Amino acid sequence: MSPNDFDGQVAAIRGFSRFYTRKLGIIEPKLLHSSFTLQEARILYEIAHRPACTATDLTRDLGLDPGFLSRTLQALQRRQIVTRKPSKDDGRVNELSLTAKGRTAQAELERRSHEEVGALLAGLDAAQRAAIVGAMTTIEQTLERPAEKPAVFILRSHRPGDIGWVISSQAQAYAEEYGWDISYEALVAEICAQFIRSYDPSREHCWIAEASGERLGSVFLVNGGDDVAKLRLLLVEKKARGLGVGRALVEQCVRSAREKGYQEMTLWTQSVLVAARGIYQAVGFRRVKEEPHHSFGVDLVGETWEMKL
């Protein structure tokens, strides 16, 4: 097919769509031999995998007709699959959640879907499987770039296992992206160990950004003494950058510092961390000092930023 044969390309995509829906059984009246249609199953998936979900969210993100969605949700409520309750943040808004019956049904759909796709791949070798996944990734990223997708993540408090992840992620990210040596990992480990040993929840906190159970980033609020709070160890995983995770973490840290009664906030960063510096400036920090230094095996320019709270 010629690269300029637009009509032929359209026909090829339409043909692949028919093949794909037949191959995965999507064309059947009920998905995966269950009692749910494809649209119902997708709605259950979205509700199950979002920290908070409203009908407005589903209408916007799935491109559903509001009337159709309303009727579908009512039917799922009658079947005791979905429930609605007023949002804690805004009583005028109803949040959707799965009932115990709904969670069981969603888990069964997940299991059947996994088995169905697994059966398709079972007869292929590793190279063929990788080729299929690569082609699908190309299609997805070309038609809808990751940064253009709605950012769905939560900020939660740290729990066992998170601090170790912070140390590992920080060390790996800065080694790969900036060539910092293992002495930076030692510094992060020391900061994290001190945070755990002297942790005062009334004055300090750690937030983990997470989506669908996967950690995407972190930030620490620590007590610097004399009513000064310190923002430390901001990190956003490369795959989550551009989705607002970093700004959300910094804004949460600043907001919490105010709530805890701090009068001032400070942080130390490096001039090469352009994206982070942009966030700090956007939320109100100002650079008050810079100093060249040789650390972590490279030449750097350290910067001190401050903000009155």
225-258 tens-digit pLDDT: 999 999 999 999 988 887 889 999 999 999 999 9
Q: Considering the domain boundaries, does residue 279 fall inside one? A: yes
Q: Closest by alpha carbon to 283, among 256, 271, 158, 270? A: 256
Residue 81 DSSP label: S
- Which pLDDT score is estimated for 249? 95
Within a domain: 1: no
Q: Are residues 81 and 127 in the same domain?
A: yes
Residue 174 and residue 104 share a domain: no
User: What tens digit of pLDDT does each residue of 17-31 get?
Assistant: 888 777 776 666 666
Exposure class string for 97-135: b at 16+ Cβ within 10 A, else e? ebeeebeebbeebbebbeeeeeeeeeeeeeeeeeeeeee
Instruction: Return d(Cα 47, Cα 50) in angstroms, integer.
Output: 6
The pLDDT confidence band at residue 146, using thresholds 50, 70 and 90, is: low
Whether 138 and 89 share a structural domain? yes
Q: Give residue-wise pLDDT tens across range 152-207.
A: 788 999 999 999 999 999 999 999 889 999 999 999 999 999 999 999 999 999 99
Cα pseudo-dihedral 110, 116, 118, 122, rounded to 10: 170
Per the structure, the complete domain to which residue 19 belongs is given by: 6-148
Instruction: Give the β-pairing of 264-270 and 228-236.
Output: parallel
- Kindly state whether residues 102 and 237 are assigned to the same domain: no
Q: What percent of the chain has pLDDT over 70?
A: 93
Both 28 and 77 in a single domain?
yes
Is 119 within a domain?
yes
Same domain? For 132 and 174 the reply is no
| Banded pLDDT at 11 (limits 50, 70, 90) | confident
Residues 234 and 180 grouped into a single domain? yes
Q: How far apart are CA 281 and CA 78, in angstroms?
A: 50
What pLDDT, on a 0 to 100 scale, did the predictor assign at position 294? 95
Give, in order, the Cα–Cα distances in Å from 248 to each of 124, 192, 226, 251, 291: 42, 21, 26, 5, 28
More confident residue, 83 or 12: 83
Q: Is residue 285 part of a domain?
A: yes
Number of domains making up the chain: 2
Q: Length of the chain in residues, anyone?
A: 309
* Residues 68, 119 within the same domain: yes
Domain-embedded: residue 280: yes
Residue 25 sits in the same domain as residue 116: yes
Mean pLDDT, residues 273-296: 92
Q: Find the CATH number of the domain harbouring 128.
A: 1.10.10.10
What pLDDT shows up at residue 197? 94
> Domain for residue 165, yes or no?
yes
DSSP label of 236: E
Domain boundary among 125, 148, 171: 148
pLDDT digits (tens, 9 = 90+) for 84-126: 888 776 667 788 888 988 888 888 888 888 888 888 888 888 8
The residues, ordered by sequence, that sit 6+ positions from 133 with a Cβ below 8 Å of its Cβ are none
219 and 207 Cβ atoms separated by less than 8 Å: yes
Burial, 148: exposed, middle or buried (Cβ in 10 Å; 0-12, 13-18, 19+)? Answer: exposed
Q: Is residue 272 a part of any domain in this protein?
A: yes
**What pLDDT, on the 0 to 100 scale, is given for residue 244?**
86
CATH number of the structural domain spanning residue 249: 3.40.630.30
Task: Mark which of 126, 148, 170 sits at the end of a domain.
Answer: 148
Phi, psi angles (nearest 5°) of residue 269: -140, -175
239 assigned to some structural domain: yes
Give yes or no: residues 186 and 118 share one domain: no
166 and 125 within one domain: no
Among candidate residues 10, 41, 9, 2, the one with its CA nearest the CA of residue 24: 41
Last residue of a domain, one of 101, 119, 148: 148
